[in-house]
Homo-oligomer: A and B are copies of this chain.
Amino acid sequence: MNFTDTLTALVPFSDDELNDILNHFTMKSVPKNETLVHQGKICKYLYFIEQGMGRSYYLNDNQKDITQWFFGTGKFMSSADSFFQKKPSLYYLEVLEDSIVYLISKEKLDVLFAKYPKMEKLGRLVITEMLTNVVNKLNAIQFQTARERYDYMLAEFPDIAYQVSLGHIASYLGMAQETLSRIRSQDSSN
Contact surface of A with B, Cβ cutoff 8 Å: 58, 60, 66, 68, 80-81, 84, 113-114, 117, 120-121, 123-124, 127-128, 130-132, 134-135, 137-139, 141-143, 174
- Please name the 5 residue pairs, one residue from A and one from B, whose CB atoms are nearest each other, closest first: A120-B120, A142-B174, A117-B117, A124-B124, A131-B131
- Which chain B residues border A142 with CB–CB below 8 Å? 66, 141, 174
- Which chain B residues border A139 with CB–CB below 8 Å? 58, 68
- Which chain B residues border A66 with CB–CB below 8 Å? 142-143
Given contacts A142-B66, A143-B60, A143-B174, contact A131 B127 (CB under 8 A): yes
Within the assembled complex, what's the spacing in Å between the Cα atoms of A86 and B139?
21
Contact at A120–B131, with CB atoms within 8 Å? no
Within the assembled complex, what's the spacing in Å between the Cα atoms of A75 and B53?
35
- Which chain B residues border A127 with CB–CB below 8 Å? 124, 127-128, 131
Contact at A81–B128, with CB atoms within 8 Å? yes
Interface centre among A123, A138, A142, by most chain B C-beta atoms within 10 angstroms, is: A142
Pairs A–B under 8 Å by Cβ, sample size 18: A60-B143, A66-B142, A68-B139, A80-B128, A80-B132, A80-B135, A113-B121, A117-B117, A117-B120, A123-B124, A124-B127, A127-B131, A131-B131, A134-B134, A137-B138, A138-B138, A138-B141, A141-B174
- Which chain B residues border A120 with CB–CB below 8 Å? 117, 120-121, 123-124
- Which chain B residues border A114 with CB–CB below 8 Å? 117
Within the assembled complex, what's the spacing in Å between the Cα atoms of A33 and B69?
36
User: 8 new A-B pairs (CB below 8 Å) besides A84-B128, A141-B174?
Assistant: A58-B139, A60-B143, A120-B120, A120-B121, A120-B124, A134-B135, A138-B138, A141-B141
